[in-house]
Amino acid sequence: MLDVVTHIQRALDSTLAYRFACRVGMCGSCAMTVNGVARWTCRTHVDKVAADGALEIAPLRNLPVIRDLVADLSEFFDKWAKARGRFEGSATRSDDFARVAPQSAQREQVDAAIECIGCGVCYASCDVVSWNPDYLGPAALNRAWTLVNDVRDATNLERLRAVAGDAGCHACHTHVSCSERCPKQIAPTAGIAGLKRAVAKAALRGEL
């Protein structure tokens, strides 16, 4: 599909604006809507999507369009920050290294979700994102889940407060579109369910 878009820009309409970088399925920059489904165009073969010989290429859904096929991902990353999707440790350089067992239950949860490269496909595929403009979205919540399970992080209570609420994990209605469409086979649904349980546990313990 990326070859098709590139051909259009080179041979048919030089004004076409579109995004790509690595061309080999590593960066996620080329994500677009192809025949109604958000995909990486560099990893989508025309045979697979043009079943009846027709192709419709559009920018990613649920995001403002800058021009043509280029979407503005600012709100996507802003929500990442709102979900406290960044690591905040408490150790200093004089402390010893943290020891995290790879086979521990928590680390396995992190490892299943850590490979996210922020391509926006899940966000573009989510019905709740389109219905609720404040909804943090699958990627931001997935990242929050990896940090909730990171034993080195020191701000979990604040993070749980950030991801709870009707703009957070509680707005997920398990359509599972995110897990269905993620090009890296991550299941944000699992992480969001985990966040729901973690928030409930904290509430029952009076910590929230």
Partner 1 sequence: MRGHPGSWAALVHRVSGVALALFLPIHFWALAHALQGEAKFEGFLRWTDSPLVKFAEWGLVVLLAAHLAGGLRVLALEFLPWRDWHKGLAAAAAGVALAVGLAFALAL
Partner 2 sequence: MSFRNETLLWMLQRASAAVLALCVLVHLATIIYAVQGGLSAAEILGRTRGNYGWAAFYSVFVLACAVHVPIGLRAVLAEWLAWRGRSRAVVLVAFAALIAATGMRAVIGVFA
Task: Establish if 158 lies at the interface with partner 1 (CB under 8 A).
Answer: no
Q: What angle do CA 116, 33, 31 make, to 5 degrees?
A: 35
Task: Establish if 131 lies at the interface with partner 2 (CB under 8 A).
Answer: yes
- Interactions with partner 1, residue window 167-196 (CB under 8 A): 173-177, 179-180, 187, 189-190, 193, 196
Nearer to partner 2, 3 or 207 (CB): 207
Q: How many residues bind partner 2 (CB under 8 A)?
A: 17
- Interactions with partner 2, residue window 179-208 (CB under 8 A): 196, 199-200, 203-204, 208
Which of 171, 178, 182, 186 is close enough to bind partner 2 by CB under 8 A?
171
Q: Which does 201 bind (CB under 5 to 8 A by kind): partner 2, partner 1, none?
A: none
What are 29's two structure tokens?
A: 């920059």
Nearer to partner 2, 116 or 128 (CB): 128
Residue ranges with strand state E in the chain: 31-34, 37-40, 57-58, 65-67, 70-71
Which of 37, 50, 114, 202 is close enough to bind partner 1 by CB under 8 A?
37
- Interactions with partner 1, residue window 113-142 (CB under 8 A): 125, 127, 130
- Residue 153 carries which DSSP code? B
Closest CB 126 distance from partner 1, rounded Å:
10
Q: How many residues bind partner 1 (CB under 8 A)?
A: 20
Q: Which residues pair with 71 in a beta bridge?
A: 65
**Taking the CA of residue 194 as centre, how many other CA atoms within 13 Å lie in the half-sphere pointing to its CB?**
22
Strand pairing of 37-40 and 57-58? unpaired
Q: Which does 132 bind (CB under 5 to 8 A by kind): partner 2, partner 1, none?
A: partner 2
Residue type for position 83: A
Q: Which does 19 bind (CB under 5 to 8 A by kind): partner 2, partner 1, none?
A: none
Q: Measure the CA–CA gap between 77 and 79, rounded to whole angstroms.
A: 5
**DSSP states of 115-131 as a string?**
T-----HHHHH-HHHHH
Task: Establish if 67 lies at the interface with partner 1 (CB under 8 A).
Answer: no
Question: How far are the Cα atoms of 28, 200, 203 from residue 122, in angstroms, in the given order?
Answer: 12, 25, 28
